Amino acid sequence: MKLALIGVGLIGGSFAAALRAAGEVDHVVGFDVDPEAVSKGLAAGILDRVVVSLAEAVSTADLVVLAVPVGAMRPAFAAIAGHLPPEALVTDVGSTKVSVIEDARATLGGAFHRFVPAHPIAGGERPGVEHADPHLFRNRLAITTPVADTDPEALAAIERLWRGVGARLERLAPEEHDRIFAAVSHLPHVLAFALVEMIARSPDADAKFAHAGAGFRDFTRIAASSPPMWRDVCLANRVELADALDSYRSRLEDLQRAIKSGDGAALEHLFRVASEARRRAADTP
């Protein structure tokens, strides 16, 4: 099978490497707006060939994987729309699903039914194809969010590929996906970025970072993530994220009131609800 990888980064590169390791793919054509990314992809043996246009990338592909920041999905779909072979499958790995589906629907025309929206719940501390790992998706969740006109055979084919690289499959409605991930992924990223940025701008930033313990490092690990990717996620899922931020800010106000007024019982109650829920949410992979 010939794979066209649009966007050569950690997730796309890992998926390409995993599909090759599973014997599903024997030729990978890569495209990225960043020439350094494609060079690294070639050097890492993830790409066999690099092309300079999206049309050329997909024109002979059996499978097209879009692994660009979600803000770049629409122009990418638009650029490949007229050049897809009739039987080609198209999928993505974007962290938001409603916006990506809208982008595909608006641009792919008759090929839209062969587009299978997907989101693997995996990542690494460091972005970039040079950190790609064919085992990245083992025992991780891969979520598909088909819509009414998604071709069932295309869906089955993409889900089979994710199973083949070790992922556990789940289907969600796109709206449900975006609401859930606003709470458990997009909001935490925003909160971690905001904390590290606030400390970085403080006059004694060096002393603060020097005294950070393991708890701080765990809490802020996600703040090392790719800025353009997360900018796009925030904008693509802005309605759900803004809702989650509203709820969160109002919780912080309650907390601050309890702290200022010395209301230990209110603090302990809130901390207890959280602590028990966090322990129940077991550390499964």
Residue 106 touches its own copies, criterion: CB under 8 A: no
Q: Any idea which residue has 């990542």 for tokens?
A: 123
> According to the binding rule CB under 8 A, does residue 262 interact with its own copies?
yes
Question: Residue 221: how many CA atoms within 13 Å on its side-chain side?
Answer: 11
* Window contacting its own copies (CB under 8 A); options: 11-19, 30-38, 77-85, 139-147: 139-147
Q: Restricting to residues 215-244, name those near its own copies by CB under 8 A.
A: 215-228, 230-232, 234-235, 238, 241-242
Cα separation, 62 vs 84, in Å, equals 9
Burial of 267 (0-12, 13-18, 19+ CB in 10 A): middle
Q: Among candidates 195, 182, 186, which has minimal Cα distance to 252?
A: 195
Q: Distance (Å, rounded) from C-alpha 75 to C-alpha 61?
A: 19
Q: Is 203 in the site for its own copies (CB under 8 A)?
A: no
Q: Is 175 in the site for its own copies (CB under 8 A)?
A: no
Contact call for residue 279 and its own copies (CB under 8 A): yes
Q: Is 270 in the site for its own copies (CB under 8 A)?
A: yes
User: Which residues touch 96 (CB under 8 Å, ≥6 apart)?
Assistant: 70, 178, 181, 233, 236, 237
**Chain centroid offset of residue 121 CA:** 7
CB nearer its own copies, residue 35 or residue 227: 227
Stretch near its own copies under the rule CB under 8 A, chosen from 7-15, 39-47, 151-159, 250-258: 250-258
Contact 173, 148 (CB under 8 A): no
Rule CB under 8 A: is residue 171 a binding residue for its own copies? no
Minimum Å gap between C-beta 260 and its own copies is: 6
Which region among 48-56, 100-108, 148-156, 248-256 touches its own copies (by CB under 8 A)? 248-256
Q: Which tokens is 106 given? A: 């608006």
162 binds its own copies (CB under 8 A): no
Least CB distance to its own copies at residue 68 (A): 15
Segment near its own copies (CB under 8 A); pick from 29-37, 73-81, 104-112, 252-260 = 252-260
